[in-house]
Every structure is written in C-alpha cells, then in structure tokens.
Amino acid sequence: SSPELTSISTYSKHIWLQAEMMNMKFAFAVFLMVAFINTEVEGKSKADKKAAGEEIERLVAIGQSNDVEMERISKQKDSLDSQLQRMNAKRDSIKAQITRILDDNLPIKRISSRRDYSFSEDEKEMIPKCCPWVIWCCL
C-alpha cells in the first residue's frame, strides 16, 4: 500500500475515531441532558403527585364531612316531616270543627242565581258579612 493511502487511511481512521468520540460525547451529553430533564420532570411529577394526593385527601375529608351532615339533616327532615304531618292533621281537625260550628250556628243558603236572592230580614241577619270559609282559609 502506498504511503498516501496509508496516511489517508490513518487520517480517516483518526477522523472516524474523533467522530465516534464526538458522537459518544454528544450521546453522553444528550444522555446527561435527558437524565437531568427526567429528574426535573420526575421531581415535578412527584411534587405534583404529592399535591394531588393531598388535594384528594382534603376533598375526601370534605365529602365525608358532607355525608355526616347530610345524614344529620336527613334525620332532622324525617322528624320534621312527622311533625308536619301531625300539624296538618291538627289543622284539618280545627278546620272541620270551625266548619261544623259555622254550619250549626250560621247556616248559609246557596244562591243559584241573583233572581233567587229573596231572603227574609231574619235570614239576612244570619248571613255573615264575609264568607265563613275565609276564616279557616286564613288559619
């Protein structure tokens, strides 16, 4: 082999080795950059996961507290519903008593039309000035 070829060959090998070294250095630099970025991302990711976990725990605690409050209110509602039913029954009983007293003491004659408006003076005095139904409707 000629000295030129040998020197070219040696030179090219040298270039090739330098290129490989550069590639390795570049590859190593890229590896270090990726490792550094991954460490940063993992660090942020861990911090984000920790923050997310804490937020989830906080929300779960709020949800549990809300469930306890809803159960308490539900029990109160059941109690209030039964009280309301008793009060409605009492109101209906009072309405019935008022109606019975009014019917017994102040009979109201039904007027089918204006032409039938022929009451005696005694009957006119018995008709109250306002409808007795207004009394218990206002209760």
Per-residue pLDDT for 74 more than 70? Answer: yes
Task: Compute the average pLDDT of residues 22-33.
Answer: 61
Length of the chain: 139
Report the SS3 class of residue 131: coil
For the stretch 44-72, pLDDT in tens is 677 777 787 888 888 888 888 888 898 88
Its pTM stands at 0.36
Query: Which has more pLDDT, 8 or 35?
Result: 35
Q: What is the pLDDT of residue 89?
A: 94
| pLDDT tens track for 93-139 | 999 998 888 888 776 655 444 444 555 555 555 555 555 555 555 55
pLDDT at res. 2: 47
The pair phi, psi for residue 47, each rounded to 5°, is -65, -40
Q: Which residues of 89-100 are buried (b: 16+ CB within 10 A; e: fewer)?
A: eeeeeeeeeeee
